[in-house]
A and B are shown apart, each in its own frame.
Chain A
Amino acid sequence: SQQGEEDPQALSIQEGENATMNCSYKTSINNLQWYRQNSGRGLVHLILIRSNEREKHSGRLRVTLDTSKKSSSLLITASRAADTASYFCATGHTGANSKLTFGKGITLSVRP
């Protein structure tokens, strides 16, 4: 079963604009991660935010986490055509069930 649910399912923006993608989840987590997948390729890790963190930055990426609302957002600033890809949030759990559970993904298209 897939815990994370991304929103929107698809997003189309102009190059240079910002892209905001949201993820909601259902059960408590240890961390939340975002991955990118280009067409026909494997997933690439973008950023990890721990459950005790609220915001994290990496280059043009900004991730927020609100554990009270069980939600996260990924902001890509000044988007480029090369950012066109599918983006997945994945919730990380602890203990014997230590694994990532991926959402269905968001398809981002950045028009040149």
Chain B
Amino acid sequence: EAGVVQSPRYKIIEKKQPVAFWCNPISGHNTLYWYRQNLGQGPELLIRYENEEAVDDSQLPKDRFSAERLKGVDSTLKIQPAELGDSAVYLCASSSRPLAGGPGEQFFGPGTRLTVL
């Protein structure tokens, strides 16, 4: 079974430029997450989707970040315009049905390392 696929793996852009990340979750996983991981820190949730609905986007900086999950499968995360502080690794994860009311095991992609110059 294929894991979570993300592209690109690396991206270097200049500030004020737009950038987009793509994620293909594990087949059959209804829940999709986007995380941001700064150097030396744990992942921080940006947005969570249940099928095509964004059910938790409270941590998404909506002035410059946007996300979509068309048809409840693939997802795209966009930053426009990028700022220096956006340099981080952007991780996508997916999971199947929640476990007894709580989040179950999450499967992570390899991430996209973004460098904003």
* A interface list, Cβ under 8 A from B: 2, 4, 29-31, 33, 35, 40-45, 48, 50, 88, 90, 92-105
Contact = CB atoms under 8 A, between A and B. Distances in A.
Nearest to A105: B42
6 contacts: A4-B42, A30-B100, A30-B101, A42-B109, A50-B102, A92-B102
User: Interface SS of chain A: helix, strand, loop or mixed?
Assistant: mixed
B48 A99 contact: yes
Interface of B: 4, 33, 40-45, 48, 55-56, 91, 93, 98-111, 113
A45 B106 contact: yes
Contacts of A94: 101-102
A59 B56 CA distance: 35
A104 B105 contact: no
A45 B4 CA distance: 13
Nearest to A45: B105
Given A42-B4, A42-B108, A42-B109, A92 B103 contact: yes
